[in-house]
Amino acid sequence: MALNPTISFPGQIDPATPQYPYGQARNIVVPGDGTGTPWRADLLNDLFGMQQALLNQAGIVPTNTPDEVGNSQYVDAMSSLFSGQEPNLLIGQDLQRNPHTLGQQFSGLTGSQMIADQINLSLNLTNGGSLNSDSVDKTTSPGPTIAQAGIYSPTGKRISVNASQAMAPNDLASIEWVIEGLDYVKIANQPFVFDVWVKSSVGGTYCLYFGDATTGNNNFIREVNLSAGVLTHIVEPIDAAPLDGFNYFTGPGLQIKLVLDVGVNSTGGIVDSWNVVQDIATSNQVNFISNPAATFDFWLAKVTPGTVGTPFPYEDTATTWAKCERYLQKSYDYLIDPGTIQAPSSSPGAISAVGQLTGGDPRFLELRTPLKTAMRVPPGMTFYSTETGAANAVRDIDAALDYAVQPFGEEMSINSTGWPVALVAPGRPIGNILYCHYVANAGINYFDQ
């Protein structure tokens, strides 16, 4: 909505012109004659409304200090809204489109685990506790609305306490994201914004940790306060990091942790400045895992350049999957977990082995495993029997047997279409048909233990 000055101020405004198609303000002719444009509440509110609409749409809270050249929140808002949306440097965070390559559910976790493409649960529990990981939707835990997030993405992730414990001195539990060095270049030595939607059943202070994941000399902690059971949009502008000490190639560039709980040996961190102290939290960190059945839900994590939060950018599914498969891919269908028992006739994507490359035992053959895209580095391969789901095995259809296999890493290349595989079990009949599934993992799993 907006005022039309010609209608609002009849007889008190100059007629419309090409430069002012809805009229132009004018001064009085004689003091008190009522011919000038009045300074009224509705005119002020029209201006206030425009200014506040810009700030609100850009997610900016006014600081209550006047704008000035070089320090204008209105300019920041317009730059955020009209200069083109920055891409999210965290891959696959619209969980409605994340391929969930390693499966969607995990239970009784005590050690680190990738819980979705590009999302790790960094975990070391030694005092009897364990965590579960699962997905949530709008019926189990309503996340941000379209108006709030700028996108409809009802699927989130939930971390829940399976068995509670008090944290041992070196224990830790955190949700972790890692930006590859080649992508971190985008925000190298520049301020950036980290934001994520969260809802925790345990209120208190949670620590966000940012680090170089290489030298350990660049560390930054921000404390955020959450109220129990309240959907909260964490939006944190982070100061520019030092240039040196980060990986700018295919290794881990920037590591981000949302700390759920941590032992006392990691609570000496320094807040709100880049420093060399490697602790990932402060002594104010809440104790999440000591609460039986506690839950922590999150949606739409994002890292973008600049100092102002922006709406979550939409990305089509094909683009998201291609980005994720640079790090992790599988021959199984989209929602089929690795190790699922499937006969070849009902197993889309199953691959066959061809050509005996050398005789004797162990015998060598080649699996035709076409990768969907070039991967970050030569991937680690895990093969699965189609009919038993056994890992590190291929299925001999003719003999109705599994044969144990191991990939030969020396033979692999980043663009390889097949890998020689050694049959560990001797005596495989020549000419029998072999089938298997595979998972190729070139992910960046930097876990603090």
Within a domain: residue 140? yes
pLDDT band at 357; cut points 50, 70, 90: very low
Within a domain: residue 91? no
Q: Are residues 52 and 188 in the same domain?
A: no
What share of the chain in percent tops pLDDT 70? 85
Picking from 284, 300, 324, the residue at the C-terminal end of a domain is: 324
Q: Are residues 112 and 216 in the same domain?
A: yes
| Residue with token string 């197993």 | 347
- Number of domains comprising the chain: 3
Helices (H) and strands (E) counted in the chain, each on its own, are 6, 22
> Domain of 159: which CATH number?
2.60.120.260
Q: Which residues have CB under 8 Å from 121's CB, separation 6+? A: 106, 109, 112, 113, 114, 115, 131, 133, 159, 173, 174, 175, 176
Within a domain: residue 152? yes
Q: Are residues 340 and 432 in the same domain?
A: yes
Within a domain: residue 90? no
Picking from 17, 50, 82, the residue at the C-terminal end of a domain is: 82
Q: Are residues 232 and 345 in the same domain?
A: no
Q: Are residues 146 and 113 in the same domain?
A: yes
Q: Residue 415 above 80 pLDDT?
A: no
Q: Are residues 28 and 78 in the same domain?
A: yes
Within a domain: residue 250? yes
Residue type, 288: F
Quote the tokens at residue 11: 């007889």
Q: What is the mean pLDDT of the chain?
A: 85
Within a domain: residue 426? yes
Q: Are residues 195 and 305 in the same domain?
A: yes
Least trusted range by pLDDT, from 28-37, 216-225, 240-249: 28-37
What is the reported pLDDT for 448?
Answer: 39
Measure the CA–CA gap between 286 and 225, rounded to whole angstroms.
Answer: 10
What's the CA angle centered on 233, arms 227 and 234, to 5 degrees?
Answer: 85
Q: Residue 42 above 90 pLDDT?
A: no
Quote the tokens at residue 187: 């925000």
Q: Are residues 318 and 335 in the same domain?
A: no
Q: Are residues 430 and 310 in the same domain?
A: no
Q: Are residues 197 and 236 in the same domain?
A: yes
Picking from 302, 324, 346, the residue at the C-terminal end of a domain is: 324
What is the mean predicted confidence (pLDDT) over 33-59?
79
Task: Write out pLDDT tens, residues 276-287.
Answer: 999 999 999 999
What is the reported pLDDT for 406?
Answer: 77
Q: Which residues have CB under 8 Å from 395's CB, separation 6+? A: 344, 385, 386, 387, 388, 401, 402, 403, 434, 435, 436
Q: Are residues 55 and 167 in the same domain?
A: no
pLDDT band at 8; cut points 50, 70, 90: confident
Higher pLDDT, 13 or 131: 131
Within a domain: residue 100? no
Within a domain: residue 348? yes
Q: Are residues 171 and 110 in the same domain?
A: yes
Residue 414 sits in which domain range? 330-441
What is the mean predicted confidence (pLDDT) over 401-430?
64
405, β-bridge pairs:
423
Q: Residue 218 above 60 pLDDT?
A: yes
Q: Residue 426 above 80 pLDDT?
A: no
Instruction: Kindly report the pTM of this predicted structure.
Output: 0.80
